[in-house]
Structure 1
Amino acid sequence: MADIPEFSIQPANTTLEEYSAVNLSCSANVGRPRGMVTIWKQSISSDERIQLGSSSSSVTDNRNCSVYANLLITYNLSRSDHDFIFSCTSKNIHTNDPAPSIEVGPITILYGPSKISFEVRPNHTHYYVEDDIHLTCISDGNPRPTFRWKFNSTDIMENRKYSFLNGNATVGFVIQYLNESGNYQCYVENYVNEKYMIKNDSITLTVKEQNIIPKPIATESCFRGACSFIEKCYENENTAVCSKDIWRIISIFFITLSLIMGMATVSLCVLLKIQKQRKGYIKDGVNSGDGEGRNYETLGSRETHTYPSVTQAVTVGLEERNYESLSNGMTDTYSSIDERALRDGEGAHYESLGSGETHTYSSIQSNVSI
């Protein structure tokens, strides 16, 4: 039967740096026949053992009737060996399990930050203003590393905008501006046996302006009937539904508004033109000045009256003149004035009643057709 082996690890330290080389030495009296020793490693969180090596020869001590097996292994540690136990067993063909064994460990492996990876929630190709973002920097290290963040090389500090979780490994914020597109850098740091270790990497976020599409206003089904001209038919949960087309409504509104404005403009132009014509008629029809007068001699009495002002109105197709005496308020209406001699040897020829002229007539015929 094999004896309990002697097992050692050099350097004799259970806290070692990553990539350190250690010598694992095991020896035991394994007896006969075909005795051997084996070195193993096993995680404290698993029952599975991993064989690192076994002896292939033995030494016989005839004086003590003993057979010794020896094994020496040089092993390079990695971070995956953290919290592993190293052991050695001895046995021969007559040894029942479990074989005699001895253990060293668990071993603590010190290492700097591992390669950085990122987790983004939600994970999209681009983002919009008011999106809620959580960036997580994933990196391992022993001792546990610290995390810090930068945005476009500017330190991100915890404040009303930014919040940190998981020992600063996660930064959360709500996008407020388009210029928040850029590089978000994560720095991971620790000390291994007083040596400063650091790794950093960055992730780029793209913020775009959101195109807001008006949501259709669903009304009755349009499966069997056509929608109105301000609606369109679309499928919603396998059902044909009429919905208000907001852009069509807006177009109709502006077209109607344009027509109203156009009609108002035309009406205003016509009104201004009419007012302008009326002012022209009044200007042409009224001619009076200081010291101006006309003398008209009555037919019966041959009296002559002088009127300082005359108001004249002209009607198309029928000429009419009103002469108002400013002295006695008398007004005579004449359909026309004979442009020829009124009576033989009487009066004068009527030529015009232009402004600034004074004419004397001995007789006026009141109703004469031209």
Structure 2
Amino acid sequence: MQISLNSIGSLLTGFVFITSISSLTLKTKNVIFEDGDSIILNCTYFKINTEYIAYRTIKWQKLIGDVFRNIALFSPPGGYRPYIPYEMQPFYNNRTELIAPNISRSAVMIIKDPICSDQGVYRCWIEYYSENSVKEQTSGSVVKLKSNPKEPEKFQLFPNELDEKQSISILCSANVGSPLGNIKIWKISQYNDTPVLLHESEATTNETGKCTEFIDVHITYTVTRVDNGALFRCSSQNNMTQGPGPYKDSLKISVLYVPDKPVITLTPLKSLYFVGDYLTIQCITDSNPPPVFTWKFQPQNKSLETVIKKSPDISKLVFDTLKTTDSGTYSCMATNAARLNSANVTSSVSIYVSHSEISNQGCNQCGYITVCQQYDGKTECVTNKWVPIAIVFILISVSFAVASIVLIKNKSASQDDGGYQAHAEIANTHVYSALQSHQAETGVYTTLPSHQPETGVYTSLQSHHPETGVYTSLQSHQPETGAYTSLQSNQPETAAYTSLQSHQPETGVYTSLQFHKPETGVYTSLQSHQPETGLYTSLQSHKPETGVYTSLQSQRPETDEYTSLQSQRPETGEHGSLQSHKPETGEYTSIDNVS
């Protein structure tokens, strides 16, 4: 039963009958209960000593149909026990507790495990005596169930893909709770997240065993192309819900529609185009599935039309440099595979490409190092970018030729005893080169110093072959990277000696190598330091055929690991010593091996 508060108030007022003004008053409250609660009806009265209440004249009544019927009778303090009338016992026995008035003067009826029919309009009614007359007093109480709405149990759309102007069927079922629940159907566009209300059901009564309302809604909705990609929502709510209640969303629908008549745009937009201009012609339309564009071209003053492009993706024609032969009419036709019988739609645009009227006169003004360029009907003389490159190349060639002549003259002037020396200094670059060579048939001697202040590079090479007590010395320094290399080599047939030092400041790596083979009292010494990792390695080796001696030391600052190895085999009173320390684990190893 659905009863509004206004109708309840009018109804209660109609049943209040007071024979005269009295000081006795009643106090009751409306009751809203939830699942699992009990209904507590409390009637509290206030009276003066001259007012008298007879036994069993305090009553709780319920409106059944159009009449209030007694459901519980009470007596004032000290009177009979309260009871439920015989005709009402099937409805309230075993689930009702009655509390008689005492010093609190309250008649209380507690209904346990409420059922749907317990909702309704109740009143407290008291008959009493005052000033030698019988009087009555009443006070009403409305009992309602509060039950939260549930998420829709079923929400279906059919079909999910359809043509525009067709209808989609929407079905939603939900437990909307109580009181006065309903279902709402919404649409949410792919372009706007704000839901739009399409339908709101009436608050109908189809009560379940838990005093809630279950509603089924079935509507149809005619779609348009703007509904493509939209989704629908079904929400469940009642009078106790603040805003839309629990909801369920559908999948997005696909609305198929053919292209509109295309719109053609020109970028830049002008009334007249000139040779050399840039132009983009674009065809714009919308459809689902996406449109396929076909471009056709009809040259100016000709009737033959040809297809120049057909593509489902590219809607543009791009001209980097217009020509007079580009004049004519361009047509764009848009089609797609939508299941609708509709003619293909086409739009056209005409353009005219003209020569500049001042082109010949303007080009005559250009000099030797400029070229003539036309754009937007204007002629401009712009510098030829290859001219500066050619000038630089010529200057470099001349400088190289002068340097070669100087070197040749110095060579001719300094030839003596079959030997020669050459010296060159190239002005403006400060490059210095000196070459000396002496072959005293053939106590060959060669020296080459080279210095380039522009880069700071320095190179020195010395070589001596006294047939053949070969001696070679090479030094190289590159300030750009800070790299330094020094190499010395001596092979007096062949008590070979080699010394190499290399330093690369860019990485901090330092390497020193010494090597000696007095055929072959081999001696090798290697030191290497890599600041990037902090790794240091020292290696010494001696084999006096073969009183082998080897010493290796290695340290890794990254882990603080240290390794020392010594070995000697005086054929073969072998002696081996290995020491290893790993601070990370505190592990220390020492091995001696003597044979």
TM-score normalized by the length of structure 2: 0.32
**Bigger RCO of structures 1 and 2 (CA < 8 A, at least 6 apart):** 1
Which entry has the higher C-alpha Rg, 1 or 2? 1
Structure with greater strand percent? 2
TM-score, length-scaled by structure 1: 0.50
